[in-house]
Chain A
């Protein structure tokens, strides 16, 4: 089961439906460490496809086809057991938690010891140049800092695939390139398959992988 052929994220004619109308469909395979860019104008169902993969599809919609992650069919797996990390356009740091608590929220509960949990959080902050930020209120961080915390939060949850939903859309041009390079580098370092939804050709170019245009 666990050979090289089945590693990565595989979408077998995954389609999202609203009643009898097909909203969008995608047939693709993303190798570990590869980035697939999904492009197209807004409203063609790119985000719905991502939601179908993460298992957070709006109850009014349904999906057909299959999602395979590292060879396992996760099409009907509950969202929280899929290990498909997700980054939105907004960082969506939980406003009532400190930066450290946000990161700890991502850590698996199987890591029991309080000390090692704190060490992992601190190490994650070190990794993106935010050492000592753990007790901070997320609302006091700059946009770039918040984006980095959101990235580390999702990586700490040890996902087996990374999904980006217009993840750089709110950042200005220079910051955008920085954060994008960081996300791609961290994802490659962990050998994650990445599916990126974007409407910006520059994002797709920077990803350097396959590009699929919907709509």
Chain B
């Protein structure tokens, strides 16, 4: 009977801190803590309309663009031969942390960035960096681009996981025999069934895009910044009134996200109607299919290029001694940045690894226990959508809206804000992603193996340890690597719950971003990425080595 409680426990672990944190944010914002006027102060801030508009605009634009590019890539290429390449690109692209991807993009597109250097002076005629606001532009275009580049791989991964349930091959075949172009047929037959499956991840993308702090600090405008960044600034204010304004701003951010979700829902309904009438029109879209395939290729190139070239330029800067504008490459090379940072890196890396390894391991154990319990004691199907929503709560409620409240509540309760608290806070974000990555392979496992084993006299426990876990080793390790990546990438939870005293590679890289030395930034961003990439590499290599002599374990991995 106690095992039945595990999923409820996990849900409580996910939703509890979020709900408590929102409450802890609401109380000071509403003046319950004895400092009224927080909302008045917020409304009197002249930057508010612009900051709120930026959050709304960049979030909605980034989500719409990411979704559109994902649809183009899938429509143009899924089920075709080139898709294997795209699938293989997803994990490495996902493994680049948000901060590193943003820093790489910044080093590419800045007025003194690599692209401008490669084009100067022969194409632009410039000998000094132009005075343009390409980076940190007031409209948040660079931020939007950064979000798109990071979110397309995520949405692709979610879509590919959900695709088999929509039986795309059969639909594609039927559409083709009815004379539809490949991509058009896919959009008309598969997409309407795929979208509901990835709806919650899309909502998470929207909420994240509107409230991200680290990417907005690196790529977003500064006067005023997006609302989330301003809230964090207020939070760090020395006086208590600043903190109350921060709480009011966090509540405003939450309302803004809810407004955006409502707008998105409306757009979904409108989109469904447009799709339906387009589908009913019977247009076969032969030329459109070719355009879509090309556009999909372009989207893949944009995303992979922005992240790949970004990493490359980060790497170049990390081994640069002198790199004059507009030279295409550094004039003098040096490993000095690596040498001078060795001890700092060692300390930050071990701290980052400790937090990530513990939270990823705990998350995998919790998710496995949850999935195994769901199998043996299936939950009431009517409760399933509710549970699904609750488990997504940490991804949909913006971090700035509940982390300050959580920190405040923890301080009130006398809990420390050290490494342990940070691990617990990371767990809230790691568990949903581990669940996302593990639940499909877990359910896809051929349960007849379990039936056979039971008839051979094997208990549930023996089936789990001897069959299920070893046969699912590859997805379990991948899920652990995903968890590791999520933890390594966390900026705000580390900053807020750590009380500013817990430093990781990510907090350091973001702290350096404004005005820091590009060479040092390159080092930190690369180490951060390398850590995550190492996790994915191990997750891919270990099962292959272990099952080297087991041909039956190779396909489907």
- Which residues of A are at the interface with B, using a C-beta cutoff of 8 A? 51, 54-56, 59-60, 78-86, 88, 90, 92-96, 105-106, 108-109, 137-140, 153-154, 157, 159, 163
Contacts and interface: CB of A to CB of B under 8 A. Distances in A.
A105 B465 CA distance: 13
A90 B448 contact: yes
A94 B456 CA distance: 13
Contact of B454 (A79, A92, A94, A163): A79
B449 A94 contact: yes
Contact of B455 (A59, A84, A108): A84
A86 B459 contact: no
A72 to B, nearest CB: 16
A153 B449 CA distance: 13
A94 B471 contact: yes
Q: Is the interface of B mostly helix, strand, loop or mixed?
A: helix
A85 B455 contact: yes
Given A54-B451, A92-B448, A96-B550, A83 B378 contact: no
B44 interface: no
A157 B457 contact: yes
Contacts of B436: none
B456 A56 contact: no
A153 to B, nearest CB: 7
A138 B449 CA distance: 15
A154 B456 contact: yes
A108 B457 contact: yes
Contact of B466 (A55, A86, A105): A105
Given A51-B451, A140-B551, A92 B456 contact: no
Contacts of B547: 96
- A-B pairs with the 10 shortest C-beta distances? A95-B552, A139-B551, A79-B454, A139-B552, A86-B455, A56-B451, A157-B456, A106-B456, A59-B378, A80-B454
A105 B463 CA distance: 10
22 contacts: A51-B451, A54-B451, A54-B455, A55-B454, A56-B454, A56-B455, A79-B451, A79-B454, A79-B455, A80-B458, A80-B460, A84-B455, A86-B455, A90-B448, A92-B446, A92-B448, A95-B471, A96-B547, A96-B553, A105-B453, A139-B551, A159-B455
Contacts of B377: 59
Interface string B431-468: 00000000000000010111111111111101000110
B549 interface: yes
A196 to B, nearest CB: 15
A92 B448 CA distance: 8
Contacts of A81: 457
A92 B552 CA distance: 11
B470 interface: yes
B457 A80 contact: yes
A124 to B, nearest CB: 13
Contacts of B471: 94-96
A88 B552 contact: no
Given A86-B455, A105-B466, 16 more contacts: A51-B451, A79-B451, A79-B454, A80-B455, A84-B455, A86-B452, A88-B452, A93-B552, A94-B453, A96-B553, A105-B456, A106-B456, A109-B457, A139-B550, A154-B455, A154-B456
